[in-house]
Amino acid sequence: MHGMISKPPGAATLATSRLVLLLLVVMTGIAPISLYMLVPALPVLASNFGSDISIAQMTVSLYMVGIALSQLIMGPLSDRFGRRPVLLGGLALMIAASVACIFAQNLPQLIAARFFQALGGAAGMVVSRAIIRDIYERDRVASMISLVVAALMIGQMVSPLTGGLIETAFGWRAIFYAITIAAIIVAVGIAVALPETRRTRAAGSGFRRDVGILIRNRAFVGYVMCQVLASQIIFTFAGGGPYIVVTQMGRSSAEYGAWFATTGFAYLVGNLLCVRFAPRHSLEKLIWFGLALQLCGSLLNLLWSFAGWNEAPGWLFGTQMIVMVGNAFVMANSAAGAISIRPEAAGTASGAMGFLQQGIGALMSQFGAYLGGHSATTLPLTSAVLAISLLCACMMIFVVPHREMVVSETLIGQAEEEESGMM
């Protein structure tokens, strides 16, 4: 049958390798951890360079743009040239850019270096999802994505706290020394221990054909938009959180890092629960469960804002934890649905999803920073989170086809038939 693919030799062995699982975690996490480590130091950057806080925020927002562009580029490249060369090339760029961050003499130089740091480091984010689809069967993709993300969150949820402590003890440049060393270690691990996993592609397959098939598939579009909108809850809240806690509530950057870690812990719990429930429930049911938690948590946070209780961080972050547990279910299962529509184009599908997620996230992070930095209460930020939760649910209601088995043989067959029709 046209469009059939084969797994790489040794895929079954790779699927049971703990070392490969560890590499998937660290290559996925190197870019987002590097992002969040700098967040607590943003007020210090603005003060040291004599700039407005919105300019300092660009070290985060343009970093997200770099992540977005990286995934749009690296995903298709990994489908064509293989996973290993793209990963190693991306990490080499990240190491060079991290060194440039250390020696930046002004804020524009730092912003530019951060952009290239993200452009290289985010290769691991998109390629890791493709590798998961390379070596695991479709019914295990969601649980494996959740497992990788759960392990990643152990590091990511403490990265703002770590960044705040490093900045307090050694200054903000020390954060980039730590990132550089971590990137070198990850690159060495991939070079030594990760084999090539790219699947054998059918003759005539290519980027344009893959994209054409995917964007014509209603299920793919629905899953991608559901995943992308769910991620915007994180970006919006993370953008506004530092200004609410540090400026409105008068707390320290290290304390903000500790409170932010609670939402990361909730996201970790959500992913662990997803790993447990995914083998026994369809993707659609798990997504709907997550959507219900997102809506309930965001609605409660909005009510606390009207009542004035969210002026204390315990109320704001405690309720946001409910949102994040649901968010983990929505993001992992939506991503699994999207990359399983056409397995041989997993890199392209993952890249398109990541591009939209991070590209829109750069805008939403800036928007969240505006809401947090130019408001006297938490009401604007919590209103935005509820609105995004509602839009996310609308994708499942109006776009994704209603069927019991979301990623099914029927969907895969439909994609292959559409490809044949393009010949």
Per-residue pLDDT of 255-289, as tens digits, reads 887 888 888 889 889 988 988 888 788 888 999 99
pLDDT of residue 13: 59
φ/ψ of 200, rounded to 5, equals -70, 125
Q: CA 330 → CA 73, 217, 226, 327, distances in Å?
A: 25, 20, 8, 5
φ/ψ of 401, rounded to 5, equals -60, 140
Q: Residue 327 and residue 176: Cα distance in Å, rounded?
A: 30
For the chain, the distance separating the N- and C-terminal CA atoms, rounded to the nearest angstrom, is 13
Residue 105, classified by CB atoms within 10 Å of its CB into exposed (0-12), middle (13-18) or buried (19+), is: exposed
pLDDT of residue 287: 94
Residue 22 CB partners (closer than 8 Å, separation 6+): none
Contact 267, 397 (CB under 8 A): no
All structural domains of the chain, each given as residue ranges with its CATH number in brackets, are 11-197+205-421 (1.20.1250.20)
Question: Nearest-CA neighbor of 134 among 78, 89, 189?
Answer: 78
pLDDT of residue 380: 93
Q: Residue 117 and residue 100: Cα distance in Å, rounded?
A: 9
CA dihedral over 53, 55, 60, 61, signed as positive or negative: positive
Question: Nearest-CA neighbor of 242 among 58, 19, 41, 35?
Answer: 41
Q: Residue 60 and residue 58: Cα distance in Å, rounded?
A: 5
pLDDT in tens, 284-327: 899 999 999 999 999 999 999 998 888 889 899 999 999 999 99
pLDDT of residue 168: 87
pLDDT of the chain along its 423 residues, tens only? 333 445 565 555 565 577 888 888 889 889 988 988 988 888 888 888 877 777 888 888 888 888 888 888 998 888 888 889 999 999 999 999 999 999 998 899 999 999 999 999 989 988 888 888 888 776 677 778 787 777 666 666 678 888 889 988 898 899 999 999 999 999 999 999 888 887 665 555 567 787 888 888 998 999 999 999 999 999 899 889 888 888 888 888 778 878 888 888 898 899 889 888 887 888 889 999 999 999 999 999 999 999 888 888 989 999 999 999 999 999 989 988 888 777 777 788 888 888 888 778 878 988 998 898 888 889 999 999 999 999 999 999 999 887 544 444 444 344 344 433 333
Q: Residue 350 and residue 60: Cα distance in Å, rounded?
A: 22
